[in-house]
Amino acid sequence: MTYDEALAYIHSVNGTFCIPGLSRIRTLCEGLGNPQSGLKFIHVTGTNGKGSFCEMLTSVLSASGMRIGRFTSPYLRCFNERIAIGDTPIDNDTLCRLTERVRPIADAMEDKPTEFELISALGFLYFKEEKCDAVVLEVGMGGRFDSTNVIECALLSVITGIALDHISFLGDTVEKIAYEKAGIIKDGCPVLSAVTESGPAAVIEKEARAKDAPYKVIDKSAVTVKKCDLSGTVLDFGDHKDIEISLLGLYQPENAALVLSAIDALRGIGLSIPEDAVKRGMKAAYWPGRFEILRKEAPLILYDGAHNAQGIAAAVKSLCHYFGEQRLTVLTGVLKDKDYRAIGADLATVGAHAFTFTPSNPRALDAKTYAQVLTERGIGATACASLKEAYEKAFADAKENGRPLVCLGSLYTYKDLMDYINN
């Protein structure tokens, strides 16, 4: 099996990327000898912030000398990014070999596994084979019926935040979504949450109590930000002093506080994590596509993969902090199942002009509809026939008017956009 054949099989196994439910992943893992058993997991769910949390925690634990598996989604430039040891993705040959091992078992199943379930099983096999000390395991969607929830216990269950997203699957209120995400809580396994809103927080606490799981909410007021600009952030949190993070965005100090709280919790159950490793790991953490500077010379180009209303609101708040009252050129494309009207209202507060495109995704909102929505909310918008056209026009507009260019709305465009910029 070649690498291209492996990817083709993974993408075609069921015809559906994700269907909530655990019966298929359980059958698949049983056929593989339950590779998830015996591994130690930090299980992570939440509407936003999962990726940054997973990257920072992986970086710190790796700096402490541990062999850490990392399972995240989506990938930005290469499929292999989903399954990694530290920041090193699984190599092509190993991915092919493991896919050949999984294929006959998956093909023999009457109810075929979904693509995400197949990827989850590949991850478990790889992390078991690599004898990982622990695995930072990011949920794909929700939690209760996500394929990663086939694991039976966790060193720590983490909930980064709750907001309306994937409402057709998870529910149309934050309380319903909190219930689904709280489904990762395991009997007696500690829970750490950054959710402070009363409704969803009460749902999570109730689930923790029902599972007799020690439950803690981070103290966001304990974060002291000493510096926050486009060169990075320095903060204090509890006993952790002068922590430097390179990840940009006003929301990152809160993500960092959650990571530092997780480190304290893991130390409490016996993991050795020296404070110098904490500082080195936090500073070294790099998570592409999340408020990332793609070009420093004029026009400066920023990319943030915020793709739902909460994420865009947080990104806009950060843009206001970094650029003050300066208006920006906006390059944007979104999916039609997102609250694009709320997204448009936020973008109108910082954008001088927007250039819209239709993302390469069956759920994409077409560029013309999106441009009309933005125009109705007070920001001039030009609908473009392709990402390439939108980028070229946005770049020219930013350069001509001396404005930064910010790219928002979807992670699916990152690879193509980086190719355009590099070329």
pLDDT tens digits for range 328-380: 999 999 888 788 888 889 999 999 999 999 988 788 899 999 999 999 999 99
Whether 107 has a pLDDT exceeding 60, the answer reads yes
Tell me, yes or no, if the pTM score tops 0.85. Answer: yes
Query: DSSP 3-state assignment of 295?
Result: strand
Q: Which tops the pLDDT comparison, 62 or 415? A: 62
d(CA 72, CA 62): 16
- Strand partners of residue 243: 235
What is the residue-wise DSSP string for 204-259? HHHHHHHTT--EEE--GGGEEEEEEETTEEEEEETTEEEEEE---STTHHHHHHHH
Over residues 116-153, the pLDDT tens digits come to 999 999 999 999 999 999 999 999 988 889 999 999 99
Three-state DSSP class for residue 24: helix
Q: What structural domains and CATH numbers belong to the chain?
A: 3-284 (3.40.1190.10), 292-422 (3.90.190.20)
